[in-house]
Amino acid sequence: MSSNNILTLQEIISLKTNIFDNSRVQLVRHKDNRTEYRDILKDRNKLIEYQKEQGLEVFKNTDYIISFIGQERSKSLLFGFFKVNGVSKIDNRFYYELEEIKVCEDLIDRVVIDWGKATLAWHQKYKSYPKEIIEILPKGYLGEFPGLTNFILEFQELKRLIENPDANRDWKTHLPQLSEVLSKTKCY
């Protein structure tokens, strides 16, 4: 463990695999509050496509990227692991061939790190910036219940909620109240 008794992303990954030990790896944090990007950040396939296209050659000399979705403040949720298989330049844009690799799959959508103070630096070298693990979420966790009138669940989220009730106790506690409110509401 690191010298100040915190567990880092690099330490937990090195316990599970050595694939990144002798590789050039970058950490990537996707966070964008602009309206047109909100849907991209919620859709795994759209986000994978989005990260393939870059205006600069940011993944030059990179073997792998480890991607995160930015959350409040400097929190970042692990999104996936990708091998950089090449790049094409078309009309001053760089298109990376990224292959999602099957490594540390049990950490994806569960490990939350502190990105650090440099949140504007959306890509950083893996070995140069140890990232403290803030929490490891239960498998299937949807997030905190936002309130009876403040949520919309898509089918996949509802399915994940039903399949993982222990990971979503907060939701399980509040949803019966919604059922009671709906039963008292007259629909014409």
Is the Cβ–Cβ distance between 139 and 166 less than 8 Å? no
Pairing of strands 133-136, 111-114: antiparallel
The string of DSSP letters for 119-173 reads: TT--EEETTTS--BEEEEPPTT---S---TTS----HHHHHHHHH-TGGGHHHHH
Q: Model's pTM, two decimal places?
A: 0.79
Q: How far is CA 59 from the centre of its chain?
A: 19
- pLDDT on residue 132: 94
Strand (E) positions, the chain? 25-30, 53-54, 64-70, 75-90, 93-100, 111-114, 123-125, 133-136
- pLDDT on residue 108: 92
Please state, as a whole number, how many other Cβ atoms lie within 10 Å of the Cβ of residue 77: 22
Confidence of residue 72 (pLDDT cuts 50, 70, 90): confident
Residue 129 vs residues 5, 22, 47, 90, 117: alpha-carbon distances, Å: 16, 16, 24, 32, 11
Looking at residues 145-151, what average pLDDT do you find? 73
Q: What letter does residue 106 receive in the DSSP assignment?
A: G
> Bigger pLDDT: 137 or 63?
63
